[in-house]
Amino acid sequence: MDEVATIYALGTPLPSRAHPGALSVIRLSGPRVADALIFLTERKAFERGHSVRDPSLPEPRRMTVRSVYDPLSGEVIDRGLIVWFEAPNSETGEHMAELHLHGGRAVVNGALDAIQQLGFCRLAEPGEFTRRAFEHHKLDLTRAEAIADLVASETAQQRRLAMQQMDGALHRLYEDWRTLGLRALAHLEAAIDFPDEDLPTGIAEAVRDGITKLRGEIAGHLADRRGERLREGLSIAIIGPTNAGKSSLINLVARRDVAIVSETAGTTRDVIEVHLDLGGWPVVLADTAGLRESGDAIEQEGVRRAQARAAAADLRLLVLDATGDWQATMQAMTVGAHWDPAHDIVVVNKVDLAMIDAVGVVALSATSGVGLPELLARIERSASQLMEREAAPPLTRARHREALVDAEQALGRALGAPEVALAAEDLRLAMRALGRITGTVRIDELLDVIFRDFCIGK
């Protein structure tokens, strides 16, 4: 068997001339971290091939000031804070060390070169620290994914979701389901092993009820799109008749000219998107083509896309022109399956030109900004209603969704199976699918892809 390599990597961004950092952190993990620490922090120890101090390692998990030396020349590269973590009490479960150095380019390059010169460490591959933590049972896959999400999170709500998942909320949910399923499976297997003694009807019913309940919970979880919305952004479509001021509105909210505004009706043809943080909610706001009957083929296509976007959006803003008969347009456009009166918002624009007197709608002047605070407050309110936190943590990744769909379908087949043995087989498949999410059931070729995927800083 190959010896496990001692790996190292810069954990903070590589400093550039334009962006040197105050600090940079280099991490090491693996069986020879203690040697590396001694050779890097004791001058000439590398030449001698051993340490003179006793005990030469700093106390574990305590920051210690040390000079870092070039092992070959003995030159001081920097003086910084060193931490030694003795296995298994480290993030990866292996011996680990952190070098907290000054964030200059020459310091970082000098220290990385020094480690390379030791000859027994290699640069970590993408995701390798996380993978080792997983191998040593320090993390399950959902927690590892949560760390990647936390690093990538841009809004406060995304951060909260990632923290919840990092605390193990999803891990517990999926493992609890698996435990329930495995218990039912044990009963079914007992029935197969002792076919003559019929399963007491009480138990058969309990097993059936258990599977039905489990399947219902998974289906409910699958129907819940909050987590994916939070990761990808809540999608909001701005819709309405031509010339109502939809593009003016997106420019106002985005505080820059993302869309062309003109008095020519039918200006916007394509869907234009901006990513925003509204009250901590990540939002993808989309401007669309004005809705009207048109002879122009390009504009017709724009209208078709606008309608598709409106239908697919989580939230719609209907923009109307206060100088026209906006009540009639509102009545015509707020009917049908795609309009959700509880969350969708009617915006009556151009109130600088015509006063309006109406309740339930937002009065706005996209040119002056009057009414914008009310509009933003309404969007935030709708967003938090749509995303309302329930007791159960939401599903966050397509990878989980796929496995849950497999599990749910297998449970459905188990319930309809004509024989106990077939039901048990389907139940086993369902439990395997659940185990794939947390990594309890290992699929090695999948793991490679997953870890490369959530490698931090890539």
Ligand X SMILES: Nc1nc2c(ncn2[C@@H]2O[C@H](COP(=O)(O)OP(=O)(O)OP(=O)(O)O)[C@@H](O)[C@H]2O)c(=O)[nH]1
Residues near Mg ion (CB under 5 A):
246-247, 267-268
With contacts defined by CB under 6 A, name the span among 138-146, 161-169, 350-358, 401-409 that binds ligand X.
350-358
Give the amino acid at 433.
Answer: A
Q: Which of Mg ion, ligand X, none does residue 328 bind (CB under 5 to 8 Å by kind)?
A: none
Question: Any alpha helices (H) in 313-397, and if so which ranges?
Answer: 326-333, 372-386
Closest CA to 92 of 28, 38, 3, 37: 28
350 binds ligand X (CB under 6 A): yes
CB-based burial label for 372 (10 Å; 0-12, 13-18, 19+)? middle
Within 13 Å, how many C-alpha atoms sit on residue 131's CB side? Answer: 20
Q: Which is nearer to ligand X, 50 or 292 (CB)?
A: 292
* In the complex, least distance from residue 123 CB atom to Mg ion, rounded to whole angstroms: 50
Q: Does 366 bind ligand X (CB under 6 A)?
A: yes
Q: Is 367 in the site for ligand X (CB under 6 A)?
A: yes
The CB-side HSE value for 199 (13 A sphere, CA atoms) comes to 20
> Of the two residues 227 and 241, which places its CB atom closer to ligand X in the complex?
241
Closest CA to 28 of 73, 72, 82, 103: 82
List 86, 135, 189, 352, residue binding ligand X (CB under 6 A): 352
Rounded to whole angstroms, the Cα distance separating 445 from 452 reads 11
Question: What is the DSSP pairing of strand 234-239 with strand 64-69?
Answer: unpaired
Smallest gap, in angstroms, from Cβ of residue 309 to ligand X? 13
**Rounded distance between C-alpha atoms, residue 307 and residue 359, angstroms:** 26
Nearer to Mg ion, 267 or 329 (CB): 267
* Pairs from 369-375 (Cβ < 8 Å, separation ≥ 24): 369/252, 372/252, 372/253, 375/253, 375/317, 375/345, 375/347
CB of 315 to Mg ion, least distance (A): 19
Q: Does 261 bind ligand X (CB under 6 A)?
A: yes
Tokens of 232: 């990808």
CA–CA distance, 439 with 445 (Å, rounded to integer): 12
Least distance (Å) from Mg ion to the CB of residue 284?
17
Q: Which of 31, 266, 279, 412 contacts ligand X by CB under 6 A?
A: 266
By beta-carbon proximity to ligand X, the closer residue of 119 and 369 is 369
Which C-beta is closer to ligand X: that of 29 or that of 248? 248
Residues 170-229 that bind ligand X (CB under 6 A): none
Q: How many residues does the chain have?
A: 458
Given a contact cutoff of 8 angstroms between Cβ atoms, the answer to whether 266 and 292 are in contact is yes
Kindly state whether residue 263 participates in binding ligand X, applying the rule CB under 6 A. yes
- Does the footprint of ligand X cover residue 97 (CB under 6 A)? no
Residue 158 binding result from ligand X, Mg ion, none, given CB thresholds of 5 to 8 Å by partner type: none
- Read off the DSSP letter of residue 241: B
Q: Which stretch binds ligand X (CB under 6 A): 95-103, 167-175, 360-368, 423-431?
A: 360-368
Instruction: State how far the Cα of 391 lies from the Cα of 373, in Å rounded to an integer.
Output: 31
Contact of residue 262 among ligand X, Mg ion, none (CB under 5-8 Å per partner type): ligand X
E-strand ranges in 279-358 read 281-287, 315-321, 345-349
**Interface with ligand X in residues 241-260 (CB under 6 A):** 242-248
From 147-155, 224-232, 262-270, 408-416, give the range in contact with ligand X by CB under 6 A: 262-270
Residue 353 within binding range of ligand X, rule CB under 6 A: yes
329 binds ligand X (CB under 6 A): no
301 binds ligand X (CB under 6 A): no
Residue with smaller CB distance to ligand X, 24 or 247 = 247
Task: Write out the binding residues for ligand X, residues 135-154 only, by CB under 6 A.
Answer: none
CB of 239 to ligand X, least distance (A): 9
As to burial, measured by CB atoms within 10 angstroms (0-12 exposed, 13-18 middle, 19+ buried), residue 401 is middle
Does 268 bind ligand X (CB under 6 A)? Our answer is: yes
Count of positions on this chain that bind ligand X (CB under 6 A): 23
242-277 CB burial, b ≥16 within 10 A, e <16: bbbbbbbbbbbbbeeeebebeeeebbbbebbbbebe
Stretches 3-11, 93-101, 264-272, 422-430: which one binds ligand X (CB under 6 A)?
264-272
Sites of contact with ligand X (CB under 6 A): 242-248, 261-263, 265-268, 289-290, 349-350, 352-353, 365-367
